[in-house]
């Protein structure tokens, strides 16, 4: 892949921070470009998704520049590797705004690196579009924050309700629930939503504990869960945790009817290939699957370009989880700037607040606290996986969409104990 696919603009060291620029500097365009700055994980545990997102964003940049840019101006990115480390993020955004003097800022991938950027953004009174952050603004209530996160309004609740909806479709319905979550921003927020939904659906919580982010052996966690004999087990975890928990569940022989929910990582091709049939029976969230029910205009063309560029680059070869949303993310920003007629931050925020945007992920509009006005998330189940080949994940038939009904293309195998076989 051409190195320029990953970034453009002169990028220097971040004063006092551990982050480093992604690539050596490339000369700026001579004709007054619009410069968009952000951090994005290229190393650390979020790197697989961060690299996929960045490729999707760069495809958008190539497309928009081929059409003449935004408001007749070419677009450049100023990008730093946030290393998947929240502590690095404030330094990145301070440098982007005070030293690099970028025109626009957007976030990197994920709740843990979006939240620490917020005080810097608020302090500079900038409009901020984020990518896959769960309920980041529920404490700040910052009026210029908007997120491309498919969970929709009341994100902690709406992002977990699908797990309960799938359970309620089964016979027998779950009545007892165990909650397992990493002690970090996203998992804690998701777990709070699970508690709320458990009360709504009448499921009794018999276990609700967090584990330290430094955990490497999850067998004691799964054994403690099994001791409560729950009908359902909801897990909110990050990629490395998800892999460890699934290995532990298979080694221990976890006995439950419904298992999964909020595991980050299972959407990533490399993790799917690593785990293969160990994922059978798991019911988990996802944000897009190439099923016939989800072929929005433009998404197939985008994925063809993405997959061609991803070959041999070390980036997720399929790109289903994050890349199309990252492209849509930039489509929304571009349209908002165009609608505002310039780079005035208040006018851009007003445009984001009042419009519906056409994207390759369908129509997008924003509601309270900048969350999407409608949820776009899915609950899916991995079924009948054999081996670890890539082929079984690129047909649109794995995993099966269970919820919401308008996108469903299959039925659950239930209970988990049997579906795992």
Give residue 159's pLDDT band: very low, low, confident or very high (50, 70, 90): confident
Q: Is the pTM of this model over 0.85?
A: no
> At CA 332, angle to CA 329 and CA 334, rounded to 5?
110
List, in order of start, the domains of the chain with CATH numbers. Answer: 3-150+296-370 (3.40.50.2300), 155-286+383-419 (3.40.50.2300)
Give residue 18's pLDDT band: very low, low, confident or very high (50, 70, 90): very low
Strand pairing of 357-359 and 362-364? antiparallel
Residue 367 pLDDT exceeds 90: yes
Q: Which residues pair with 145 in a beta bridge?
A: 128
For residue 373, give every residue at least 6 positions away whose Cβ sits within 8 Å of its Cβ, in sequence order, or none: 152, 153, 365, 366, 367
3-state SS, one letter per residue, for the chain: CCHHHCCCECCCCCCCCCCCECCCCECCCCCCCEEEEEECCCCCCCHHHHHHHHHHHHHHHHHHHHCCCECCECEEEEEECCCCCHHHHHHHHHHHHHCCCCCEEEEEECHHHHHHHHHHHHHHCCCEEEECCCCHHHCCCCCCEEEECCCCCCHHHHHHHHHHHHHHCCCCCCCEEEEEEECCHHHHHHHHHHHHHHHHHCCEEEEEEEECCCCCCCHHHHHHHHCCCCCEEEEEECHHHHHHHHHHHHHHCCCCCEEEEEECCCCCHHHHHHHHHHHCCCEEEECCCCCHHHCCCCHHHHHHHHHHHHCCCCCCCCCCCCHHHHHHHHHHHHHHHHHHCCCCHHHHHHHHHHCCEEECCEEECECHHHCECCCCCEEEECCCCCCCCCHHHCCCCCCEEEECCCCCCCCCCCCHHHHCC
Q: Which residues pair with 206 in a beta bridge?
A: none
Cβ of 177: how many Cβ atoms within 10 Å? Answer: 28
Mean pLDDT on 66-90: 97
Distance of CA 251 to the CA centre of its chain: 28
CA–CA separation, 276 vs 186, rounded Å?
A: 25
Put residue 195 in one of left, alpha, beta given phi > 0 → left and psi -120 to 50 → alpha: alpha
Kindly tell me the sign of the dihedral angle through the C-alpha atoms of 41, 38, 132, 296.
Answer: negative
pLDDT value of residue 395: 74
Give residue 21's pLDDT band: very low, low, confident or very high (50, 70, 90): low
Highest mean pLDDT among 49-58, 265-274, 380-389: 49-58
CA–CA separation, 48 vs 269, rounded Å?
A: 9
Cβ of 60: how many Cβ atoms within 10 Å? Answer: 20
CA–CA separation, 126 vs 101, rounded Å?
A: 12
Give residue 22's pLDDT band: very low, low, confident or very high (50, 70, 90): low
**Cβ atoms of residues 109 and 130 within 8 Å:** no
Residue 168 pLDDT exceeds 60: yes
The mean-pLDDT minimum among 45-54, 332-341, 382-391, 402-411 falls in: 382-391
pLDDT value of residue 5: 32
Mean pLDDT on 77-93: 97
**Cβ atoms of residues 192 and 186 within 8 Å:** no
Give me the chain's average pLDDT, please.
91
- CB burial of residue 296 (10 Å; 0-12, 13-18, 19+): middle
Share of the chain above pLDDT 70, in %: 93
Give me 144's structure tokens. 């210029």
Residue 83 pLDDT exceeds 50: yes
């Amino acid at each position: 892949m051409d190195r320029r696919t990953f970034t453009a603009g002169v990028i220097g060291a971040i004063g006092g921070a551990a982050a480093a620029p992604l690539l050596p500097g490339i000369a700026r365009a001579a004709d007054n470009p619009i410069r968009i700055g952000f951090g994005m994980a290229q190393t650390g545990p979020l790197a697989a998704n961060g690299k996929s997102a960045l490729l999707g964003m760069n495809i958008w940049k190539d497309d928009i520049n081929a059409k003449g840019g935004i408001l007749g101006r070419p677009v450049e990115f100023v990008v730093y590797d946030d290393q998947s480390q929240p502590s690095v993020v404030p330094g990145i955004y301070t440098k982007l705004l005070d030293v690099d003097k970028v025109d626009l800022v957007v976030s990197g991938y994920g709740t843990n690196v979006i939240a620490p950027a917020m005080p810097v953004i608020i302090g500079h009174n900038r409009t901020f579009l984020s990518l896959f952050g769960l309920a980041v603004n529920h404490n700040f209530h910052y009026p210029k924050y908007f997120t491309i996160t498919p969970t929709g309004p009341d994100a902690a609740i709406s992002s977990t309700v699908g797990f309960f909806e799938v359970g309620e479709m089964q016979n027998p319905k779950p009545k007892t629930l165990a909650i397992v979550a990493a002690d970090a921003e996203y998992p804690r927020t998701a777990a709070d939503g699970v508690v709320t939904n458990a009360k709504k659906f009448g499921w009794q919580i018999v276990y609700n504990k967090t584990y330290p982010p430094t955990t490497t052996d999850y067998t004691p966690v799964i054994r403690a869960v099994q001791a409560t004999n729950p009908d359902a087990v909801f897990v909110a975890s990050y990629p490395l945790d998800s892999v460890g928990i699934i290995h532990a569940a298979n080694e221990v022989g976890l006995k439950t009817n419904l298992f999964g929910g909020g595991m980050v990582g299972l959407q990533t091709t490399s993790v799917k290939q690593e785990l293969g049939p160990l994922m059978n029976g798991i019911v988990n969230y996802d944000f897009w699957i190439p099923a016939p029910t989800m072929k929005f205009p433009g998404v197939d063309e985008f994925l063809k370009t993405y997959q061609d560029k991803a070959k041999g680059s070390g980036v997720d070869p399929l790109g289903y989880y994050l890349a199309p949303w990252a492209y849509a993310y930039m489509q929304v920003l571009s349209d908002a700037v165009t609608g505002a007629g310039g780079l005035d931050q208040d006018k851009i925020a007003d445009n984001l607040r009042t419009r519906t945007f056409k994207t390759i992920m369908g129509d997008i509009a924003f509601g309270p606290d900048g969350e999407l006005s409608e949820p776009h998330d899915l609950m899916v189940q991995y079924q009948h996986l054999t081996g670890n080949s890539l082929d079984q994940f690129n047909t649109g038939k794995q995993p099966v969409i269970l919820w919401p009904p308008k996108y469903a293309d299959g039925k659950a195998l239930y209970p988990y104990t049997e579906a795992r076989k």
